[in-house]
Amino acid sequence: MMRGRYRPWHVAMVIMSTTCALLPCRPGLSDGHTTTSVESGSKRPNIVLILADDLGYGDLACCGAKDMRTPHLDALFKQGMQFTNFYANCPVCSPTRAALLSGRYQELVGVPGVIRTHAENNWGYLNPNAKILPKVAQENGYHTAIVGKWHLGLESPNTPTERGFDHLHGFLGDMMDDYYNHRRHGNNYMYRDKQEIDPEGHATDLFTQWSVDYLNERTGSDKPFLLYLAYNAPHTPIQPPEEWEQKVLARETGITAARAKLVALIEHMDDGIGKVMAALKSNGQAENTIVVFTSDNGGQLDVGANNGPLRDGKQSVYEGGLKVATAVVWPGKIKPGSVSDLRAMSMDILPTAFAAADVAIPHPIEGRSFLQTLEGKSQPALRQQMFFCRREGGPRYGGKTIEAVIDGPWKLLHNSPWEPLELYNIEQDPKEENNLAKTNQPVLNRLNAAMRAQLQRGGQIPWQKPNNGE
């Protein structure tokens, strides 16, 4: 139920135009060599992209969690293809979301760090000239909607309805200070389209119901849809509904209070995802819908997250901060129960979905389609090198970046601006226990040069809001 407090946008709408020349390319590939699964005259598939917030790599029952009951996500993973080598573009929120929606490295669209309410602690600004992929979907006949967490701008021109979404029902800000009052620093960032709203209820329940409502509204439409459902869960504060926490405490003997809260918050989200999947089925939409589930980064260890055997977690460019549980479902197209170890990244998701829908992306991107893998075909590596970077302030980072590059078996990383480079063979040493920086200088030098070049490339893109000449 919503209290009746609606007000129009308090900022003026600004219409932005892209001035750069766009080079035509097939979905996700600059040379156009990609396969599609949409036959001539058939209806393009719907796309449902579900993003968890800070979900640990090992924090689903199907990913090894022994104290977790996630039947709906377990079923989703079994219905399609599970990726065991999938990487978030960044170990924190905003940059991964920028990469996910743009199909580009986050620093190349102006979001190397977290976008926040206060300018002195803000480390990104979505470039108004960057075209994000929901806009491309719009231009190709899709109705586009975001439900849940946006985290890519609080005001014009970087609100969802200005950046490619026909419909917004959710939260503009970074994190909520409370899952029930939905405030951040005392500000209300809940909106329906262009109007501020003040709904009652747990945020997970609201986002679930709003997604179901949207799917119901799209029933019978000839127009395909792109639904981006971005939960706040299980991001801090770890605040599950009381009945869910008590259920976990009663079931899991010996579980800590902190872990019980996190397990309950994840299980509650799983229940919501089950309702969304049920709506797709009951509406007759499931058979022609691609469903993707992933997370924006690894789990936060100090609140009890489980990243499986991986080192470290959220905020870190070790594997535990970057690897995320990911699955794709497409009935009749993807073999149920299939598993892939292909390395892919957040920015590859929408190019892949667009390739499946035969939607061309008319401008260069770094994202690549892994459709061939979904179809059970052999596919070469999507790229030779994978880059990761994050900019952050405070004494831990000092406004500098942390960064990593993966090239074949090798991973070079700089997890602190104040510490030396580290080099690992992640194929032989997936837990990143044996630093080879001192014994493999040629590899270190080669990857360091590649990493510097990527940082210089990203440094050409402004990541602060223009000051309008002041």
CATH for 309 = 3.40.720.10
pLDDT given for residue 398 in this prediction: 95
DSSP 387-453: EEEEE--HHHHTT-EEEEEEETTEEEEESSTTS--EEEETTT-TT-----TTT-HHHHHHHHHHHHH
| 10-residue mean pLDDT series, the chain (470 residues) | 38 35 39 48 89 98 97 98 98 98 98 96 96 97 98 97 98 97 97 98 98 97 97 98 98 97 98 98 98 98 97 98 98 98 98 98 98 97 98 95 98 97 98 98 98 97 78
Same domain, 285 and 372: yes
Query: What's the sign of the alpha-carbon dihedral 155, 159, 122, 295?
Result: positive
- DSSP state letter for 294: E
Integer angstrom CA distances of residue 88 from 28, 196, 305: 17, 31, 17
In the block, residue with structure tokens 């986050």: 106
Same domain, residue pair 336 and 421: no
Q: What is the DSSP letter of 162?
A: G
205 and 66 assigned to the same domain: yes
> Please, what is the Cα angle at 414 between 308 and 111, to 5 degrees?
90
Residues 296 and 445 in one domain: no
Last-in-domain residue among 343, 367, 383? 383
Residue 5 domain-assigned?
no
Query: Measured between alpha carbons, how far is 12 from 415 in angstroms, rounded to an integer?
Result: 40
Residues spanned by the domain of 399: 387-458
Residue 12 included in any domain: no
d(CA 417, CA 402): 6
Same domain, residue pair 371 and 409 = no
- Cα separation, 255 vs 261, whole angstroms: 10
Paired tokens of 71: 């039947």
pLDDT value at residue 37: 58
Give the strand pairing for 344-345 and 385-391: unpaired
Q: Tell me, yes or no, whether 325 and 444 share the same domain.
A: no
Residues 352 and 405 in one domain: no
Look-up of token digits 């893109």: 461
> Which residue in this structure is represented by tokens 């599609």?
36
- Rounded Cα gap, residues 435 and 444, in angstroms: 11
Where a domain ends, among 358, 383, 408?
383
Instruction: Give domain status of residue 4, yes or no.
Output: no
User: What's the helix, strand, coil split of the chain in %, to 5?
Assistant: 30, 20, 50
**The one-letter amino acid at 93:** C
If one counts the domains in the chain, the total is: 2
**The pLDDT of residue 42:** 66
Report the first-to-last Cα separation within the chain, whole angstroms: 44
Query: What integer pLDDT is reported at residue 22 of this predicted model?
Result: 33
Cα separation, 329 vs 336, in Å, equals 8
Q: Side chain identity at 242, as an amino acid letter?
A: E
- The answer on 332 and 245 residing in a single domain is yes
> Could you tell me if residue 224 is inside a domain?
yes
- Whether 266 maps to a domain, the answer reads yes
Look at residue 254 and tell me if it is in a domain. Answer: yes
Query: What are the angstrom distances between the C-alpha of 216 and each of 103, 134, 212, 223, 287?
Result: 29, 20, 6, 14, 15
Please indicate, yes or no, whether residues 378 and 397 belong to a single structural domain of this protein. no
Are residues 231 and 303 both part of a single domain? yes
State the Cα–Cα distance between residues 272 and 442, nearest whole angstrom. Answer: 50
User: 340, 365, 383 — which closes off a domain?
Assistant: 383
161: Cα within 13 Å, side-chain hemisphere = 15
Identify whether residues 200 and 169 lie together within a single domain: yes
Specify the pLDDT at position 468: 56
Alpha-carbon distance of 468 to 14, in angstroms, equals: 14
Q: H/E element holding 207?
A: helix 203-218
Give the model's pLDDT for residue 284: 97
Does 217 fall in a domain? yes
Q: Does residue 306 form part of some domain?
A: yes
Q: How far is CA 5 from the centre of its chain?
A: 30
CATH number at residue 434: 3.30.1120.10
| 195 and 53 in a common domain | yes
